[in-house]
Amino acid sequence: MEFLMWVLIGLAAVAVCLAAWRFLRMRPGGTPVVLRQLPAQGVHGWRHGTLRYNGDDLMYYKLRSLAPSADFVFERSFLDFGGARRADADEQELFAGELIIVTATSRQRSFEFALDRHGAMALIAWIESAPDRRQVKGDNLAIWERGTRWRNR
């Protein structure tokens, strides 16, 4: 019985450490957001969190999660801007402040991001500045070998 108590105390300590690390490390370094996956009705499905831009990836960390990694990772080349709108009356009661809701689709899954005005502008600009995914990326080694072929003769 005593062993079980120590195991539970250990698990609780790990959970507290993970929660503290996530709260202290992720929250101050990102953009506050409220996210939900579509289809959704009314005000259901909204989850508070933080967005962090990491090169061509957008990482979403849920506020109430203990996972050390991102809960969603959106690749910029597969993220399409679907439009922006103001929050309706029911959503304004849920959110603190006036937020703009940005709709985006990633690999046949649609999401709504509720952000302040500056965060919404940054997200839209980041999505729209992505290179076209149809753009063919060349093999750098093959290009280098073709360019230096004359040296090998």
Classify residue 139 by its DSSP letter: -
- Report the chain's mean pLDDT, rounded to a whole number: 83
3-state secondary structure of 41: coil
What is the C-alpha end-to-end distance of the chain, expressed in Å?
77
Q: Whats the size of the chain, residue-wise?
A: 153
Q: Please say whether the beta carbons of 35 and 46 come within 8 A.
A: yes
Q: Please say whether the beta carbons of 82 and 104 come within 8 A.
A: yes
What percentage of residues in the chain have a pLDDT greater than 90? 29
* Nearest Cα residue to 62 out of 122, 19, 101, 11: 19
Q: What is the pTM of this model?
A: 0.72
Domains contained in the chain, CATH given: 2-134 (2.30.29.30)
Give 71-101 pLDDT, tens digit per residue.
889 998 888 999 999 988 888 888 877 899 9
